[in-house]
Amino acid sequence: MQNQIKYILIIAFLSSITGFAQERTKDTLDPEVVNVVKPYTPTISDAFKIKETPTLDDATTATKKEIKYNIFSIPVASTFTPAKGKAATVNKAKQEKLYDNYASLGVGNYTTILGEVYLNHELGRGETVGGYLSHHSSGGGIDGLLLEDDFMDINLNANYTKKERDYSWSIDGGGLFKNYNWYGLPKDYFDATTADTLDVGHNFIGANLGGKIKFEDSYFKQASVRFRHFEDNQGSGENRFVVKGNVDVPVQDEIISTRVTLDYLGGSFDRNYFTDEELKYGNINFGIAPQYQLTEDDLTLNLGVNLVYLNDTEAGKNKFYVYPNITASYRLVDELLIAYGGVEGGLIQNSYESFVQENPFVSPTLFITPTDQQYNVHAGIKGKLSNSMSYNVNARYFADRSKALFKVNSVSGEATEDYQMGNSYNVVYDDVNTFSFSGELNVDVNRNFKLGAKAEFLSYNTTNEEEPWNLPDLKASLFMDYQIDENWFAGANLFFVGERKDQFTQVGTLTLPVPQTITLDSYFDANAHVGYRITNQISAFAKVNNIANQDYQRWLNYPVQGIQFLVGASYQFDF
């Protein structure tokens, strides 16, 4: 009975729990009906971004606890000793000793002697003294000549330089001695019998003295003065005095660089070519050339003018010249391509000494006057094709009034002097316009091998003379230097000169002179040398000139020596 009551109570309890759960579920449901008109379209304003770094309101986490560390050092016995650090070394080549003094001597065929001495010694701080001596002579011996062809050329110079804090100055002086022969006797008109009666030696003596001063951080930049005396054994004499200065003239905020020049020339010859009348010449010219430089980015522009006043002291005439002095350069491609050009002009002071330097076979009967170069227009490009190759190409057109031309003297019908046999040269003047186009290339193959080449084409237009006497239509040169190894070195050069024209005239006593225009053949001259450095101070060398043994004529009836051999040694030293 009790078990039945127990089962009835359990069933009643379960029934009550089920009814209560159904009642709670029913109460949470919403009995309303929802009608959907359109689907829900969310907008940006409905969205929100969860913060990357949430805010924690946790006092335990936010508060840092202080931690204390205790280190207990225990000494340990050690016998280790670290090695000292040492920088790595680079193997350097031994620095070559440079010497201040140099002497060289060589001998060769044609009884040739070639010597040089260069001296430079430091007396104290900023104070040096030096000197230079050169000697070149030959006993001659050209085949087929009727006259002696030996020559001698000696030059001497001594200098002293002093450097101060704000300026430096120097003084120097020297001399020269030259001995040449008028050996260009026309063999078609004279024989050995006539040649034996001639004394064709022509000696020159010269001396000069001058000085120079240069200032630092001053408007007056530098100045120089030079006096020259030149004479020969035929009674000729010449004096020249030149003063030059450079001054920066401030104009507002700009600087005008100004060059000032004073040039005096005076001389005389005992006679002219055909008569015993004395020849005198002389002039004084004063020049001033202001120039302003404008630099902007890759452009450099020089704007200036050259003003020259000439006083002919012998003729008593004065003249004023105005020349352009404008140059410009522009970097088109850095150092690879640079364009340049300009228009310049000037009064060129001709002198007896300058003529002898160019042609030692002139007669002491010259008429000397300056050359008026009205303008010299030039333009070109230059630059580098690579780090080891550079070039320069340019064209020029210049107009010279009273340009000096060398022309062989005529054979005098009543010759009384040894240079009146058609074996000497005169100077004639003409208005000549010249066009020139040239190119130059230099290559540094490596630090031990250098190569260079240059060529120039020329065209002339004369006014009075039939030809531009003795001016070539082409000039070219090639050179090479090669350091073979530490001791051996070598080099070579080649010169080429195009055709020239000259005019030979025989003046007879009964017939009129008949000029004959003669074309001188082009020629090339190849030279080479090789040397060996025995020690740091002593070197031996050998030279060969005119390797092709060319029998060319630089001047009419003046053949040059054939192949020439020369050996010698050089010595470098210090005092």
Lowest mean per-residue pLDDT among 121-130, 249-258, 507-516: 507-516
Q: What is the mean pLDDT of residues 495-499?
A: 96
Is 263 buried (19+), middle (13-18) or exposed (0-12) by CB count in 10 A? Answer: buried
Other beta carbons within 10 Å of 392: 16
Query: What pLDDT shows up at residue 352?
Result: 97
Degrees to nearest 5, angle at CA 566 with 138 and 179: 15
Residue 163 lies in a domain: yes
Distance CA 273, CA 364 (A): 8
CB 285 within 8 A of CB 309: yes
Q: What is the CA radius of gyration of the chain?
A: 47
Lowest mean per-residue pLDDT among 17-26, 49-58, 81-90: 17-26
Pairwise pLDDT comparison (348 vs 25), residue with the higher score: 348
Q: What is the mean pLDDT of residues 477-488?
A: 94
Task: Give me the number of domains the chain comprises.
Answer: 1
Residue 445 lies in a domain: yes
Reported in sequence order, the residue ranges of 447-534 that DSSP labels E, i.e. its strands, are: 449-462, 474-483, 488-497, 500-504, 516-520, 523-533
Other beta carbons within 10 Å of 459: 12
Residue 136 lies in a domain: yes
For the cut 60, the answer to whether the pLDDT of residue 30 exceeds it is no
Q: What is the mean pLDDT of residues 536-547?
A: 96
Residue 464 lies in a domain: yes
Residue 362 lies in a domain: yes
pLDDT by residue (tens digit) across 83-108? 666 666 666 666 777 899 999 999 99
Lowest mean per-residue pLDDT among 408-417, 456-465, 491-500: 408-417
Give the DSSP letter of residue 68. Answer: -
Query: What pLDDT shows up at residue 45?
Result: 52
Confidence of residue 13 (pLDDT cuts 50, 70, 90): very low
- What share of the chain in percent tops pLDDT 70? 83
Q: What is the mean pLDDT of residues 475-494?
A: 95
Q: Name the pTM for this structure.
A: 0.82
Instruction: State the residue range of the domain holding 223.
Output: 120-573
For the cut 60, the answer to whether the pLDDT of residue 1 exceeds it is no
- Residue environment code for 406-421, b if the CB has 16+ CB neighbours within 10 A, otherwise e: bbbbbbbeeeebbbbb
Distance CA 99, CA 367 (A): 47
For the cut 90, the answer to whether the pLDDT of residue 325 exceeds it is yes
Lowest mean per-residue pLDDT among 20-34, 225-239, 468-482: 20-34
Length of the chain: 575
pLDDT by residue (tens digit) across 158-216? 999 999 989 999 999 999 999 999 999 998 888 899 999 999 999 999 999 999 999 98
Residue 292 lies in a domain: yes
Q: In CATH, what number is assigned to the domain containing residue 387?
A: 2.40.170.20
- Quick one: residue 252, left, alpha or beta (phi over 0 = left, psi -120 to 50 = alpha)? left
CB 321 within 8 A of CB 312: no
Query: What pLDDT shows up at residue 374?
Result: 96
Query: What pLDDT shows up at residue 413?
Result: 76
Instruction: Copy the structure tokens of residue 559.
Output: 């053949």
Residue 500 lies in a domain: yes
Distance CA 146, CA 128 (A): 50
Q: What is the mean pLDDT of residues 342-356?
A: 97
For the cut 80, the answer to whether the pLDDT of residue 47 exceeds it is no
Q: CA nearest 376: which of 338, 325, 301? A: 325
Q: What is the mean pLDDT of residues 358-382?
A: 97
Query: What pLDDT shows up at residue 92?
Result: 66
Residue 195 lies in a domain: yes
